[in-house]
Structure 1
Amino acid sequence: MYKHMIQFLDRPDLYQKTEAAFWDDEHISGEMLKAHLAPDFEGASRKLEFIQRSAAWIGEIMPPAKYPRILDVGCGPGLYTERFAKMGYGTTGMDLSRRSVQYARDSAASQGLDITYYCQNYLAMELEETFDAAVMIYCDYGVLPDHERRTLLRNLYNHLRPGGKVLLDVFSMESYRRFEELQTWETCPKGGFWKKEGYIALTGKYRCTDHVTLEQITVIGERETKAYCLWNTYFTKEMLVREAGEAGFGVCGVLGDVAGSPCREDGPTIAILIEKQAG
C-alpha cells in the first residue's frame, strides 16, 4: 500500500503531464462546466462582471470594423465568444474540452449566433482560415512549459493576418510571492468535484522553481487512485515581452489585466497586446 501511494505523492518532474485527461472525464468536465458558468465564482472562468468589462475593452482596442475576425483560444463554454459575436465580430472558438465545446455550440444555436467552434488542441492548431485578432484569457499561457509556449505563439502567428493582434494574460511574480506552499486532505464520502463516488483528496501546493508552482491533487477512490498536476508559470513584464519578441511579434502594450487596467508591481496578473507586423 505504501509503495502504491508514494508513486502518486512524489513530486513529478517539472511540467510533467497529467496522465488522466480530466477536461474530458465525464464527471469532472461536468463540474468544470458548472464552475465556468457560475457568474460569481472565479474558478474555471473569471466573474461575469469582469468578463463583461473585458469584452467591452477588447472591442475598443480591436474594434470589429478594423479587426473583423477574432479567435478565442481556450474558449471554454463560450463566455467571451458569444459577446464577441454580438459585438459584430466573425467569431471562432477553440477548446480541448468536448463538453464545453458542445455546450458552446448548443448555446450559440439557441441564440441564433454564427460562431464556429473547434474541439482541438491549440498546440496542434491547423485551421484553414486566418484571423485579425486572437485572445487567450485567464492565464492559460502559463500552464505550458517553455517549448509549448513557443509552439503556441508560432501557431498564433501563422494564423494571423499581417497586422493581426493577440491579447493574452499571465500570473505575475506578485502572485508567485503570494503563493503558499501547503499540504491538505479532504474527505468526500458522497463524491465531489473530482469524482461522483466517495473519495479522499490529498492536495500539495509547491514552489518548484523561482517562477513555477505545482498544485498536485491525488484522488483516492474505492477502486482506483489518480493524480492531477496543475502547473503555473509566473512572469515579469520583461520575460513576457522577450518571449513575444522571440516569436516574431511586436509589442503594442503591457497592461495589468485583459480589461485594460494599468500594469502595477503589486498586481496579480500581467496582460500583453502583441502584433504580427505587416511586411
Structure 2
Amino acid sequence: MITNNVMKQIVALSNKPYVFERGTGNIWTEEYIAKQMLKAHLDKTSDGASRNIEAIEKTVDFINKAIKKNSTILDLGCGPGLYAERLFQLGHSITGIDFSENTIQYARNHAKQENLQIEYRCEDMFQLNYNKQFDVVMQIYGEINTFSGYEREQIFRIVREALKPEGVFIFDVTTPVHRKKSGLSNKWYISENGFWRGNRHLVLEEGFAYEDNIWLDQYIVMDEEEIKVYPNWFHNYTKKDIETIVLEAGFTKVNVINSLTGESNSNESEWLTVIAEK
C-alpha cells in the first residue's frame, strides 16, 4: 500500500521545478544506470545515448575535413570513444574526458584491444585546467544544451584556455524545432526490469516548458527502497542566439551550420553545428 507520506512526497516532487534545479539521482554515477547508458552508447542502430553509426561516421568525416591534419583533440564527454577512435585512426591525437568511470573503463579497454594510443580520463569537465594544449576541443551530441547559462560560460572559459591560438571549438546544439517535434511527455508506467532499475519500479515522466527555449524532461523513479528524481534539462538555441553567445564568450570567429554534418542549410533543422575559433 502507498502510504500518505509517500503520496505527499510524489506530489511534491512532481511540481514544476525552478530552472535547472538538480535532482536526487545521477545517471552517470549510479552503477546500474551507468551500465544501461553504456549499453545505449554501443547500440549502433539507436540515437539514444549516442547517434547511430551512420550519423557518427558522417560527423567524423565532417570534423576531419573542418580541422587541420594531425590535430591534437580534446573530446569532452567522449563516452566509450566512438568519435575518438575514428579520429585517431585518421591521424589525430586524442584525449577523451568523461564523468562516467564505467564508460571510460570500457573506452580504455577497447583502445588497448585495438592498439589505439588514446588517453582517456575519468574527470569532471568543469574541473579541467589545460593551458593552450589542443588544436581542437569538441563536444558532440548536444551536451551544451543541458547546461545552465552559468555552466555554459564555465565550459566556454575552460575550452578557450585549453585551445592553442587559432584553435577551434566544435560542438552541436538542438534548435527550438527539435522540441516542437518531440513535444512534452506526461505519463507513468511500471517496469519489472528496465533502464532505471533492475527490479520492479514505477516511473513518472513529466515535461515542463520555460521561457527562453528551456525545457525539462523529468523522471521520478520509485521502487521498494526509495524515490529519486532525474531531471534532463534542455536549452535550445536559434542560430542568432548561439552566434551571439559564442562571440560574447571571447571567441573571435564563429560559423554556425544548419545541420549535423554540413549537408543541409534548411532553416527547419533540428540541430546546429558550431565552429568557434579562439
Aligned partner of 1:166 in structure 2 is 169
Aligned partner of 2:193 in structure 1 is 191
Q: Quote the offset at 1:63 in angstroms.
A: 3.0
My pick for the range that moved more, 262-271 or 140-149, is 262-271
CA contact (8 A) 2:132 2:165 kept: no
Q: Quote the offset at 1:258 in angstroms.
A: 3.5
Separation in structure 2 between the aligned mates of residue 174 and residue 3 of structure 1, nearest angstrom: 36
Aligned partner of 1:154 in structure 2 is 157
CA contact (8 A) 2:184 2:207 kept: yes
Q: How many residues align?
A: 273
Aligned partner of 1:96 in structure 2 is 99
Q: Deviations over 1:165-206 (max 9, x none)?
A: 011111112113334233101110x22100011101010012
CA contact (8 A) 2:130 2:161 kept: no
Aligned partner of 2:181 in structure 1 is 178
- 1:73-84 aligned within 5 A: 73-84=76-87
Give the TM-score, by structure 2 length.
0.94
One-letter code of the match for 2:79? G
Structure 1 counterpart SS, 2:28: helix
Aligned partner of 1:132 in structure 2 is 135
Separation in structure 2 between the aligned mates of residue 210 and residue 244 of structure 1, nearest angstrom: 17
Structure 2 counterpart SS, 1:168: strand
CA contact (8 A) 2:169 2:275 kept: yes
CA contact (8 A) 2:175 2:237 kept: yes
- Percent sequence identity over aligned pairs: 29
Shift in alpha-carbon separation, 1:257–1:228, aligned structure 2, 3 A: same
My pick for the range that moved more, 84-93 or 55-64, is 55-64
Q: Are 2:262 and 1:238 equivalent residues in the alignment?
A: no
Structure 1 counterpart SS, 2:166: strand
Aligned partner of 1:51 in structure 2 is 56
Structure 2 counterpart SS, 1:181: coil
Separation in structure 1 between the aligned mates of residue 9 and residue 163 of structure 2, nearest angstrom: 48
Structure 2 counterpart SS, 1:49: helix
My pick for the range that moved more, 253-262 or 153-162, is 253-262
Match of 1:106 among 106, 109, 123: 109
One-letter code of the match for 2:90? M
Q: Deviations over 1:7-47 (max 9, x none)?
A: 22112110011232221111100111010000000000011
Shift in alpha-carbon separation, 1:263–1:148, aligned structure 2, 3 A: farther
One-letter code of the match for 1:269? W
Aligned partner of 1:6 in structure 2 is 11
Aligned partner of 1:271 in structure 2 is 273
Q: Quote the offset at 1:129 in angstroms.
A: 6.6
Separation in structure 1 between the aligned mates of residue 24 and residue 207 of structure 2, nearest angstrom: 19
Structure 2 counterpart SS, 1:213: strand
One-letter code of the match for 2:166? G
Give the TM-score, by structure 1 length.
0.94
Aligned partner of 1:29 in structure 2 is 34
Separation in structure 2 between the aligned mates of residue 60 and residue 16 of structure 1, nearest angstrom: 39
Unaligned runs of 5+ in 2: none
Aligned partner of 1:259 in structure 2 is 261
Q: Deviations over 1:56-110 (max 9, x none)?
A: 1211110324xx2011111011000001111111111111111111110111011
CA contact (8 A) 1:69 1:132 kept: yes
CA contact (8 A) 1:251 1:272 kept: no
Unaligned runs of 5+ in 1: none
Shift in alpha-carbon separation, 1:70–1:258, aligned structure 2, 3 A: farther
The CA RMSD over aligned residues, in Å, is 1.3
Separation in structure 2 between the aligned mates of residue 118 and residue 243 of structure 1, nearest angstrom: 29
My pick for the range that moved more, 166-175 or 253-262, is 253-262
Separation in structure 1 between the aligned mates of residue 252 and residue 189 of structure 2, nearest angstrom: 46
Q: Are 2:45 and 1:40 equivalent residues in the alignment?
A: yes
CA contact (8 A) 1:219 1:227 kept: yes
Shift in alpha-carbon separation, 1:129–1:248, aligned structure 2, 3 A: closer
My pick for the range that moved more, 45-54 or 11-20, is 11-20
